[in-house]
Each structure stands twice: as C-alpha cells, then as structure tokens.
Amino acid sequence: MKQFSYRHAKEAELMKSMEEAVKEQTNLSEEELFSFAEFNEKEVEKTGYSNYSYWRSTLQAFLKNKMAVVLLFLLGLLLLFTFIQPYLPNQYDPNMIINDENGMQYRNIPPGDQFILGTNSIGQDLWARIWSGTRTSLFIGLSVALAEALIGITIGVLWGYVRKLDFILTEIYNIIDNIPNTIILILISYILKPSVKTLIFAMCLTGWIQMARFIRNQILIIRDRDYNVASRCLGTPTSKIMIKNLLPYLVSVIMLRMALTIPAAIGNEVFITYIGLGLPVDTPSLGNLINEGRALITSPALRYQLVYPTLILSFVTISFYIIGNAFSDAADPKNHV
C-alpha cells in the first residue's frame, strides 16, 4: 500500500511538472491548445528541414578521434617536409657521393653535426636519401591507392549493376583470386624493367579486383532497395542512379580500402626490393634504404642506417592505417549522432 501511494504521488508530481513545462514553452492558454490549427506553410517546413550534412557530420565524428587527428596532422607535416627539404639550405643531393678534402669518400659516418643522420657505405648523405626515399615511397603508395580506387570503383559498380557482366567478371575474379598476389607482383617485376612506373603497374594489376569485388557485393545488397526501384521507375538514368544513389553509400568502405592500400603498397615495395627486383639504387626509396641497411645488420655501430628508414616507414604506415580506420568509422552514417 505504501509503495502504491508513493508511485501515485510521484506520477502526479510528474504530470504537474510536464503541464507546467508545456505552458511555459508555448505560453498558450488551455483553449488555444485544444483548438484546430490552421495550415501554415512555414510551420510545415519546420519539421521537414534538417541541417544534417553528411560531410560535416563525418568531419565532426572524425575530429572526435584525437589520436587520428594528431596523426593526420603529423603526417601532413611529414608530407610537406619531404617537398620542402631539398630547398632548405645545406642539403646534399641524395645521389651525390661526398668526398672529404683528400678525395676520400665519407663512408659510414655516424649521425653528427656534418651529416644529420650520417652517411651510408658509399658516402651518400642518409638524411637527404631518407626524405627523397619517403617521397618516392609515398608517391608509389598514393598512386597505387588512387589507381586501384578508380579502376576498382568503376568496374565494381558496373559489375554489381549490369547483370550481363556478372558472369564474366566473376569468372575473371575466381581466376585472379586463386593466384597469390605476391606471385603476380614478382612475375611482372621480373619480366619488366624495374622503375617506379612498372612497380605501380604491377601492384595495380591485381589490387583493383579486390576493390571491385567488394564494391560489387555492396551494390548487390543495395541496388534493389525501394528507393532505387523508385528512382528506376521514375526514369532516372542509370549513370545518375550509380553516382547519386549507390556511391555515397560506399564512401566509408572505399576510404578504408584506399587508406589500407597505401601501407600495403609501401610494404610491397620493400619486399620487391629485397627480392632484388626493386628500384635501381639511384632512385632512393624506403625499400632501397632498408635493403641497404639490412646488409649491415651484423655490425651494431652501423645499425642507424636500418633504424632511421624503418622508423619513418613505420610511422607512415601506422598513421595511414589508423587514420583510415578512424575516417571510415566517421564516414559511416550509423555513427553520426
């Protein structure tokens, strides 16, 4: 009995406060509240309009991830620096073999005043080589990611949307998917002469199909949803359905894959260089530098030649990984409040 009365009292209190709140908000008398409202266009629009913007919400969600923002900032600085570095005063050319007064090469000089990160075994400045190499590696990574995205998205959308193509592309996929990617990479690099272009080509050759497959599966899921059927009934051209109705749905997936392709491409370059099919030594890349450093692994005093390139490489790859994941989370409308 006691409980019941307590609840009763609580309810009454609540009702009272609610009524008061309504009255305060509207300032309407009892009579006005219970009379019919007249049509007012302005009032109608009030609820229909939302100031939700996809990209702004994405940005807001992304900014909440402090770690990713900091990494993005640092990565931006690094990227900027790789371009600025050659124009700074007192920089050496990455391929110049530096001699001292007696005409002897500065070999394996440890990091110090004259050479910020020391020199390598034939007397080239490691600092200049590292930045030049970072530039090359980032260029490879970004080009591969962009090319894969472009080809993958185009083919993936067609694959998912045009039923006639499905059979052929699925068969092609089944074949390509069966060979380990690295084997294709090795094969193409072996056949072609090593250069930045051929490396990018070899990496794109198989990467796009994974992207296309992913997009195709997503498209299959959403292509026959009601809003797409409605668009089709209203005579919207196919190209517009693809770009306006389907692709925005896939932004988060695409960004994630692109962000993960970059570290993978940089890693592949290191691997290919190790096998002996990489870029020539006069094109410094992180793979080249790491490979040079690896050759000196047995002598602890020279280990700095391996450590510095790997530090930069690890920073770049981890940043892309974390930023990519954070951005894809942020781009998913489910995470927008």
Partner 1 sequence: MLKYLAKRIGRSLITLVIILTIVFCLLRLMPIEGYFPNYEKMTPQQIQVGLEEMGLTDPLPVQIVRFFKDLLHGDLGTSRIYRANVAVTEILADKVPVSIKLGVFSMIVSLLIGIPMGALMARYKYRFFDKLGTMFIVCIQAIPAAVYFLYIQLYGTQILNVGLLFDINNPKYWILPVLSMSLNNIAFYGMWLRRYMVDESNKDYVKLAKAKGVSEGGVMFKHIFRNAFVPLAQYIPTAFLNTVIGSIYIESLYSVPGMGGLLVTVIKKHDNTMVQGIVLLYACVGVLGLMLGDVLMVILDPRISLGKKEGDR
Binding site for partner 1 (CB under 8 A): 166, 174-175, 177-183, 186-188, 190-191, 217, 220, 263-264, 266-268, 270-271, 274-277, 287, 290, 294, 297-298, 303, 306, 310, 313-314, 317-318, 320-322
Least distance in angstroms from the C-beta of 281 to partner 1: 15
Cβ closest to partner 1, residue 304 vs residue 321: 321
Which of these, 112, 78, 143, lies nearest to 311 by C-alpha position? Answer: 78
Least distance in angstroms from the C-beta of 11 to partner 1: 30
Least distance in angstroms from the C-beta of 176 to partner 1: 9
Cβ closest to partner 1, residue 49 vs residue 167: 167
**How many residues can be counted in the chain?**
337
Cβ closest to partner 1, residue 98 vs residue 292: 292
Is residue 204 within 8 Å of residue 264, measured between CB atoms?
Answer: no
Cβ closest to partner 1, residue 114 vs residue 228: 228
Least distance in angstroms from the C-beta of 335 to partner 1: 16
Task: List Cα–Cα distances, 72 to 68, 130, 188, 228, 250, in angstroms.
Answer: 6, 20, 34, 36, 22
Cβ closest to partner 1, residue 112 vs residue 280: 280
Least distance in angstroms from the C-beta of 265 to partner 1: 10
Could you tell me which residues come within 8 angstroms of residue 167 by beta carbon, excluding any fewer than 6 positions away?
none
Q: With 0-12 CB in 10 A as exposed, 13-18 as middle and 19+ as buried, what is 12?
A: exposed
53 Ramachandran zone, left/alpha/beta (phi>0; psi -120 to 50)? beta
- Residue 40 phi/psi, 5-degree rounding, is -140, 115
Torsion of CA 229, 231, 234, 239, to 10 degrees: -120
CA–CA separation, 156 vs 150, rounded Å?
A: 10
Least distance in angstroms from the C-beta of 308 to partner 1: 12
Cβ closest to partner 1, residue 267 vs residue 333: 267
